[in-house]
Structure formats: C-alpha cells, structure tokens
Structure 1
Amino acid sequence: MFSIEHEFDATVITLVDEGPAPLQEDVVINGFAECVTLEQFDPRTDQVVTITLSPWQLRELAAALDLPEGVYRLKKVADSTQDPE
C-alpha cells in the first residue's frame, strides 16, 4: 500500500510494507525540486535514517531497476530523455 500527498514544497510518497512478516518500517519519500529524500525509522537505533539523492541519481536509480548486471552511464540527449549507453 502507498499514499501520495502534494504539499507546498514537496510531493510525499509513503510506502507501507504489507508483505509477509517480519515487516519493515514505512518508507517516506519526499520529492523536492532540488533533491529527493528517503526516510525510514530504524528501531535498532530509535532514529529516522535519511538518504538524499540528487535528481540525476534518482534518474540513474530508475534506469538501473530495469537493466541487467553491468556498469552503465546515462547520457543526455537533445530532447531531455535519458538512454543507457
């Protein structure tokens, strides 16, 4: 299950783990113009862990999800779409 909320300065996506136990904590993704943050509560440390990705890193992550094992570099093309090299 997930939710999407549009706030003043970000789009917030919350991913809820509904798989088999043991379940993981919710993941909150905040999409800002300049970066994307992923937050998840870590019960071992009793703290929220945050990872910050640049827009370029996010594009590379999205591309990597659909590619086989290997080393890749995305290239910019004239119409602003991204293709793996």
Structure 2
Amino acid sequence: MFTIEHDFDATVITLIDEPEAAPLQGDVIITAFDDRVVLRQDEPDSDRYSEITLSARQLDELRAALNLPEGGYRLTRR
C-alpha cells in the first residue's frame, strides 16, 4: 500500500509495508523536492529512522538502472 501527498514545495510518497510481509519492515517515506529526493525508513523496533538523500542526477541514474542489465553506465545529459 502507498499514499501520495502534494505539499507546497514537495511531493511525499509513503510506502506502507503490508502485514503479510515477513519480516515486517518499517514504512518508507519519500519526499521529492525540485533538487533532491529524501528517503526515510522508520525502524519498527525503536523510535529511530534511517535517511538517505539523493541528488536529482542520482535519482535519474537510479531510474535508468532499474531498467538496464548488469554493467557500468554513465548517463549523458541532453
């Protein structure tokens, strides 16, 4: 399950782990700004969380990597 919310300066996507998943993982919150994307995952057994910030270029590379075979690549800007 997931939710999408549009704030003034960002889009917030929350990925909610379903109970049938084993083991249950913490929810993932993705906040997309114009210049970066922040991924935050709550740790289900504590009040802590992990956070990763990707630049817009890193996000483009991740998007491309999801659809490419194994190997090394460099994206060129148009």
**Normalised by the size of structure 1, how large is the TM-score?**
0.82
Provide the identity percentage.
60
Alignment-derived partner of residue 73 in structure 1? 74
Read off the aligned partner of 1:35 and give its amino acid letter.
R
Gapped regions of structure 2 (runs ≥ 5)? none
Which structure has the larger Rg over C-alpha atoms? 1
For residues 41-75 of structure 1, give each alpha carbon's deviation from its aligned partner in whole angstroms, at most 9, with x where no partner exists.
12466411110000000000000001111000001
Shift, 1:39, TM fit: 0.2
The alignment covers a number of residue pairs equal to 77
Read off the aligned partner of 1:15 and give its amino acid letter.
L
Alignment-derived partner of residue 10 in structure 1? 10
Q: Quick check: 2:4–2:13 contact (8 Å CA) kept in 1? A: yes
CA RMSD for the aligned pairs?
Answer: 1.4
Alignment-derived partner of residue 61 in structure 2? 60
Alignment-derived partner of residue 32 in structure 1? 33
**Normalised by the size of structure 2, how large is the TM-score?**
0.89
By relative contact order (CA 8 Å, sep 6+), the higher-ranking structure is 2
